[in-house]
Every structure is written in structure tokens, then in C-alpha cells.
Amino acid sequence: MDTTSVWRATAPGPGFAMLQDDLQCDVLVVGGGITGVTTALLLAEQGRKVVLLEAGDIGGGTTGHSTGNLYVTTSQGLSEIASQWGADVAREVVTQRKAAMDFVEVQSRRNPQAAFTRCNLFLWARDAADQDGIEQERQALLEAGCLVRMDDAVPAGLPAPVGRVLVLQDQAQFQPQAYVSDLAQRAVRAGASLHEHSRVVELDLKTRTALTATGSVKAGEIVLATHSPKGVHLVHAEMPVHREYVVAFEAGAQDPGPGIFWWQGEEGLSIRMLGHEGRRYLIVAGPEQTTGTHNAKAALMAVEQLAGKFLQPGQPLYRWSAQNYRSHDGLPYIGRDHSGCFIATGFSTDGLTWGTLAARSIAAQLAGQADPFAERCAPGRFTPVKGARTLVEENVTTLKTLVQDYLTRSQHEHLSSLAAGDSAIVEAEGETFAAYRAPDGELFAVSPVCTHMGCKVRWNSVETSWDCPCHGSRFRPDGTVVEGPAVTPLRRKQVQLG
């Protein structure tokens, strides 16, 4: 299935050459999403020698597969921050996230294609049981000094609410792919060296050296802006991993106009519109799914069915998904961790705003500037009471996965019986394989053991990938790393069909 997002389909990438040399620099940034590119730009503007390595295309990860929304609250709710950390920290979060939004707005003034627009965020429930959460969010936003009101209805064409509608004013939307592509080009003009299709295949944190298939970079400092830091880091044990499926439709007869529309509940959706070259798109994101344990096609079909039932859109034009890593206590992890590298992770589905904030914070820290909020978001913080529920969720998921996978026998299926498009964990020649037969008949067989920490991978039929349910590493059918903390590919196995 083609999983190109509407953002990447409507905004060309910058197009940078692969790393073909051995370089030295002040700061190596790994990852070409909004966090990494913003970091590279800010550091280059400080006069530092910066190299950025991106495994695929600039914006080709989570940034180019997001919903393009910016807001001062969080997807889990500012009320969740307030309940865990208190009203003062909730106000800090709003202040910091607003500053990040303002930064994006200023940068977007140089690039009309970024299509930055101020708008309102609408939050409502379809079930009376969810209405208390709307009221709690209203109170938290008011205490944090936000412009918020309550309405009786949502814009025309949206699912009708049960109870009143929370309206958070002065939020924003933009075209994330166009935005990050422009920042990348500006970073190069400021002196940074950016390289696409330059996956880090080995990372030596002691010598601060990164190897790719065609070159190397030795740096004074390393920033891992890869959404989940590469290698083994303590924060991996604190972050449940989820995927969110999104569909862009032709706009139907009803057009609610600009706005971030969040329908809360079991059948909840995130909804927004996009205008591009005279066309209107309705963009709909569904509920989160746990990576590696869900049925990807069913999750995607559920989004289409809900949109068809409640929104009456036109034809689906683009389908995609994105992965997110949720911190254990509601705040992201930003700063230097035990490895000595700077990391930026735990953004949940709020990465465009948190990622911008993280880049500004890391650039400030490298410049020797004090940042009290960065201290609060330090990766080494210890808040077991605040994050107990998430810590239990993550570790139970990992333990259950390990037990099930290593105590359950593999499918008794022969490799030769796999039809085109089929996948399976099979036994052959005394070994276990993760096998997939491509539509053209080519057979791929790889080790089913994730190279990060040894969990067994599961098949994702939408994105044609092997996904690890423990910490979110994902691999192509040939074993190549797609994303996540894994650096080493799954071992390719040569098999003979008998």
C-alpha cells in the first residue's frame, strides 16, 4: 500500500547528497525531522560546524507523517500535566509550548508554502461519560492563563457533541514538510552540512563517531534527534510506543473550515482541513494503536469507516501512519542523558511543538545558557510516583511480549506455501524465520529477533514492515532498519525451498 502522506505529496523535499566522506565537526545531529533540522539551523547560526545525517529524506519520518497541528496543550490534556505536576508546571508547559509555536510562526513568514495559520482548537465529547474530562481540561487551561471558552455546538459537518464544546483560541496549523524543507535549506546556507540517505549503522558514543555505509563523522557533541534515541538508553524502559493512522480525503459537501477538531472518546478522531492549489482535503487521524500488537489494516479501515459514517467525505486520497513515544510522566525527555549525548524524545503525538522546543533548548544548552524548563525535562529525572501507570504499562507490555514469543511455538507453515503478499513466522531447516513474499514473488526471510533488545517482531501489513512491540523498532522485509532505537538490521537468511 502506498503510504505517502498528503504533506510529502504536496511539498517537494530539499534533496541533499549522501555522505561520501569522513568528516569532523563540532556537533553531529542524527535525524532530519523538525527537531534535528531546527537544531542544525540554530547551531549553524551560532557559528558552529554542524553535520546532520538523515537515514531517508528530510521530513520523511514522523514530521512528514504528522497532522500539522500546533497547540499549547498536549494530546493527553493539560489537565493530565496539572494533576501529576501541579498548576505551576502546567503554566510552564503552556508558556514553553507557546514560545515554540511563536518561533514556528516567525520562521514561516519567510516561506509561504509553510501555510502557517492561526486557528482555534475544538475539544468535545460524544459520550456523557467523557464530559468530565472536558471540564477538567477547561479548568486546567484557565488556570494556565489560556484563552478558552465554551460553545454549544461544533462547526457544521462535524459529529455533534454531548454537552458543551471547549474552544481553545489562538492555536495553529501549518504544512510541516514544506516548513522543515525550508529550514533545512536555510541551515545549509548558514554553513551546516546536511546529508540524506545516510543511515547511521554504527554509533560509538565514547569516541563520538558515527559510521554510515559510505562515510563517517567524528564530533565534539552528538544530538540524537531520531524521535527515539538510537542504541540502548534508560528512557526506552519508560516509554510505551504507539502508532496513529491517518487518512486524507477529498473534502465533501461539508467544510468546517480552519481549526483543530478533537472528538474525544472510544471512537474519537482528530480532524482538520487542508487547502492546496485550489483543492480541499479532509484529514482524519484515528485512535492510537500499540506498535507491534495491533492489526494495522483494521486500524486504518476503522478510520475510513468512522470518517465515512460521521463526516461524509469524498474519496480517500492518502493513507499513512506515524509512531510516537510517550514519556512516563507527561513531560518529554530533553537534554544530555547517561550516554553523554543529547536526546529529545517522549513527545507522544505532540512532536511538532515539543520538537521545536527541544531544538531551541538543546541549542541554548550547548551555548552555555541556563534553561530551568530543560532541567525539569532532563532525561535522568526520577519521578516514579508521577509516572507509575505508564512505567507499569511499558514493562508489562515488554514482559508479556517476551513470554508469549519465547514460549509459543512458531506457525507450522512451509516457506514454499507463502502466497504473494503473505507473511508469517515459520520454521524451516531447523530455524525460525520472519518471512514475507513480495507481490512479484521474491521471498524475504530474516531473523525474527529485534536487534535492539531481543524481542520478537510482528508483521505490519499496511506498511510492509516487521515491527517490534517492545521499544518500537521497525524493519523492512529485507531486515533494513526503518525507525526506532535499533541500529543493526535483522539478519537476512538464505533459504532453499524444498
189 occurs within a structural domain: yes
Reference 329, options 36, 100, 135, 86; nearest CA is 86
**To which residue does cell 464544546 refer?**
165
Q: Are residues 249 and 166 both part of a single domain?
A: yes
CATH number, residue 220: 3.50.50.60
Q: Is residue 478 part of a domain?
A: yes
Number of domains in the chain: 3
Q: Are residues 151 and 296 in the same domain?
A: yes
Residues 277 and 253 in one domain: yes
- For 195, counting Cβ atoms within 10 Å of its Cβ (0-12 exposed, 13-18 middle, 19+ buried), the class is buried
Give 211 or 419, the one with higher predicted confidence.
211
230-271 confidence digits (pLDDT tens): 887 889 888 999 999 999 999 988 899 999 999 988 778 999
Q: Identify whether residues 293 and 145 lie together within a single domain.
A: yes
pTM summary value: 0.91
Residue 394 has pLDDT above 60, yes or no: no
494, part of any domain = no
The answer, yes or no, to whether residue 405 has pLDDT greater than 70, is no
**Contact present, 168 and 148 (Cβ < 8 Å):** yes
129-142 pLDDT per residue, tens = 889 999 999 999 99
Total residues belonging to the chain: 498
The answer to whether 454 and 469 have CB atoms below 8 angstroms apart is no
Asked whether residue 365 falls in the same domain as residue 474, the answer is no
**Distance between the two ends of the chain, CA-based, in angstroms?**
30
- Containing structural domain, residue 118: 114-172+238-324
Predicted confidence at residue 230, as pLDDT, reads 85
**Cα gap 372→74, rounded to integer Å:** 20
CATH code, domain carrying 428: 2.102.10.10
Cell of 496: 532453499
Q: Is the dihedral of CA 173, 177, 180, 183 positive or negative?
A: negative
Residue 116, SS3 per DSSP: coil
Residues 6+ apart with CB under 8 A from 389: none
Q: Report the pLDDT averaged over residues 426-454.
A: 88
- Whether 11 and 131 map to the same domain: the answer is no
Do the domain assignments include residue 429? Answer: yes
In what helix (H) or strand (E) does residue 405 lie, and over which residues does it extend? Answer: helix 388-407
**Beta-carbon-side half-sphere exposure of residue 117 (alpha carbons within 13 Å):** 18
Q: Say yes or no: 249 and 311 in one domain.
A: yes
Q: Give the DSSP per-residue string, 117-155.
A: EEEEEEEEESSGGGHHHHHHHHHHHHHTT--EEEES-PP
* Listed residue (99, 104, 39, 103) closest to 66, CA to CA: 104
**289-322 pLDDT, tens digit each:** 998 888 899 999 999 999 999 999 999 999 999 9
Banded pLDDT at 402 (limits 50, 70, 90): very low
Helix (H, G, I), strand (E, B) or coil at 357: helix
Higher pLDDT among residues 484 and 430, named by residue = 484
What is the side-by-side order of every strand in the sheet holding 481-483? 458-460, 465-467, 474-475, 481-483
Q: Are residues 133 and 192 in the same domain?
A: no
CATH number (domain holding residue 158): 3.30.9.10
Do 419 and 436 fall into the same domain? yes
Cα 245 from Cα 180, distance rounded (Å): 22
Residue 361's nearest CA partner among 114, 100, 156, 162 is 100
Residue 44 and residue 143 share a domain: no
Please check whether residue 431 is in contact with residue 492, taking contact to mean a CB–CB distance below 8 angstroms: no
Q: Are residues 299 and 428 in the same domain?
A: no
Note whether 262 and 343 are within 8 A (CB). Answer: no
Tell me the per-residue pLDDT of 43-87, one tens digit each, with 9 for 90 and over: 999 999 999 999 999 999 999 999 999 999 999 999 999 999 999
435: part of which helix (H) or strand (E)?
Answer: strand 431-437
Dist. CA 182–CA 110, nearest whole Å: 9
Query: Can you give the pLDDT at residue 267?
Result: 77
* Pair (219, 248) in one structural domain: no
